[in-house]
Each structure stands twice: as C-alpha cells, then as structure tokens.
Amino acid sequence: MNRTIRFASLTALVVFATPALADPLQATLYKNPQCGCCEGYAAYLRENGFNVDVKPTNDLAEISRKAGVAEGMQGCHTMFIDGYVVDGHVPVKVVRKLLTERPAIAGITLPGMPMGSPGMAGTKTEKFVIYTVPKDGKAPSVYAEE
C-alpha cells in the first residue's frame, strides 16, 4: 500500500515536472481583425509548440512603428516574444535562431506577405529574406535567408 502511494506521488512529480522543462514560448500577436493569414501564422506557431495570444487591433501600423519596424519593412502582423519583436510570416527556425542567439536588436521582420511563407497560401518562389529590426535608428541588415 505504502509502495503504491510512493509510486503514485513519484509519477505525479514526473508529470508536473516535465511541462516545466519544455515550457512553451509565450507570444503575443497583434493583427488586423480581418487578417486571415495572420491566424494561419498563429496556428503554425502553435503547431510548433508556441503559446500564442492573438490580439485583433486597428492600430497595427502604430504598434509596429513603436516596436521599431520601419515603414516598408512591415509584415501583416506584429508579434512580441521573449523581449523581441517578430514581424510578418517569419519561419519558426529563424524565430528560434533569434531567441537562441539573442542579438542586441529590437527583433526581426519578413516584410510583406511572401507566397508560401508560414501561414500564407501559394508556393514559395524565392528565398525569404528576414531583416533585423535595429535599435537606435540604425539601418536594417539581413538576419537570415530561408
């Protein structure tokens, strides 16, 4: 009887301890209320183990501008994750690279809505070029190509 109880509590410990180790990354994603591909991108992130809080807003341009994403460099949604801004349909591999390398930038962006990018319909026709969102008004540079 005692042994059973001990085993049960040990099992409980393992069950509770495991999610803490593989803690899902918490993201907040701002999008225009009408944006469907933004929902597609959120679903893609969830499939890849992220926790995504989607917030529809009519002030998206203002939110990305404040986050440091220059006009013409913006994607169709703006996400905040682990101290960084991630704008547009950035592949998860590049998001993870950012969160691992932790460069001294505000974040990264995939401008526009390239065909075949995560959450977008269509077939990929060219490399996705992901740019830095620099701090202090510096010029963006290429962060990754996928």
Q: Which among 76, 56, 74, 77 has a CA at the least distance from the CA of 65?
A: 74
Q: In the chain, what are the helix, strand and coil shares in percent, each to the nearest 5?
A: 35, 25, 40
The residue count for binding Cu ion (CB under 5 A) is: 3
Q: How many residues does the chain have?
A: 146
Q: Which of 76, 94, 98, 133 contacts Cu ion by CB under 5 A?
A: 76
Residue 140's alpha-carbon distances to 63, 65, 105, in angstroms, are 18, 14, 10
Touching Cu ion, residues 18-57 (CB under 5 A)? 37
Q: Which CB, 12 or 115, lies closer to Cu ion?
A: 115
Looking at beta carbons only, is 37 or 94 nearer to Cu ion? 37
Instruction: State which residue, 63 or 76, has the beta carbon closest to Cu ion.
Output: 76
Options 29, 73, 113, 144; binder of Cu ion; rule CB under 5 A: 113
Report the interface residues with Cu ion, using CB under 5 A: 37, 76, 113
